[in-house]
Amino acid sequence: MTALAVVANPIVATPLRQAAAPKPFGLPFADPPGPGTWYLGGGYGNTVGAFFQRDTTYRAGQGLHFGLDFAAPCGTLVIAIGDGVVAKVDAKEHGSAPHNLMLQLDAGYATLYGHLSERSTLNVGERVTKGQVVGVSGDSFGTCHSAPHLHLEIRSPDYLTAYNPINLIDADWDTLALVGAFQRGFERDLDDPRQWQYPDDQPDTQFGGPLLNNYKNPWPPDWYRR
């Protein structure tokens, strides 16, 4: 009787996914997600919501939702996702009314906190450390009962490119993505229906670049908008 050779099963031995590079940033809230704190409301990228507003709100961002939306009651404290310096307070060019805050992060990115309810008390040039409170969340309609949420962007230091925060913030995104309230999924190009359909598989945004989702055969189509 011959001994069975121990041979690694090549299927089992091959990782299903490459080990991802460590993500440099933390979540913008100190508290864990939950009904009284915050949850992931809308994804980054080729979302259905951004597609429907691709010629207006999201035109400059190639028709993509160039940040993440975190649903949170007005007044929720938001914290620095990494160490850095305050770069802009209430910069008009970044919208996200009523108030916004831009940080330059030491890790080589910038981050925008949008729809804050109050002007940040921080000053341009001031240093912030990861976890430090930098603002107070608000509502994009300014009411606190319409759409209370934090819009968070991660950009290149020159602000010209926005990246998918899911790939840069260390969190359990698989679980967080199960709950979104205003998440209607990702717009489909029926000529290439598998492109950009996952929260962690979305294109970078080049501000001022051409629309990426002006599809000839989109689903849902524009007439489907409700």
Side chain identity at residue 24, one-letter code: P
Binding mask 25-64 for Zn ion (x = CB under 5 A): ----------------------------------------
Give the angle subtended at the CA of 60 by the CAs of 54 and 62, to the nearest 5°. Answer: 55
Q: Which of residues 62-81 bind Zn ion (CB under 5 A)?
A: 67, 69
Question: Shortest Cβ distance from residue 69 to Zn ion (Å)?
Answer: 4
Q: Considering only CA atoms, which of 183, 198, 184, 199 is closest in space to residue 149?
A: 183
With CB under 5 A as the rule, give the number of residues binding Zn ion.
3
Q: By beta-carbon distance, which residue lies closest to Zn ion? A: 151
Per CB under 5 A, the segment of 16-24, 43-51, 151-159, 207-215 that binds Zn ion is 151-159
Question: Shortest Cβ distance from residue 165 to Zn ion (Å)?
Answer: 11
Nearer to Zn ion, 187 or 192 (CB): 187
* Helix or strand run (H / E) with residue 174: helix 173-176
Nearer to Zn ion, 66 or 196 (CB): 66
Quote the DSSP letter at residue 92. G
Helix (H, G, I), strand (E, B) or coil at 76: coil
Tell me the residue ranges of DSSP E strands in the chain: 39-42, 68-71, 77-79, 84-89, 99-105, 109-116, 127-128, 133-136, 138-139, 148-155, 161-163, 188-189, 205-206, 218-219
Among 54, 99, 151, 155, binds Zn ion (CB under 5 A): 151
Side chain identity at residue 144, one-letter code: C
Nearer to Zn ion, 54 or 151 (CB): 151
Q: How far apart are CA 157 and CA 126, in angstroms?
A: 17
187 lies in the binding site for Zn ion (CB under 5 A): no
139 lies in the binding site for Zn ion (CB under 5 A): no
153 lies in the binding site for Zn ion (CB under 5 A): no
Q: What are the residues binding Zn ion (CB under 5 A)? A: 67, 69, 151
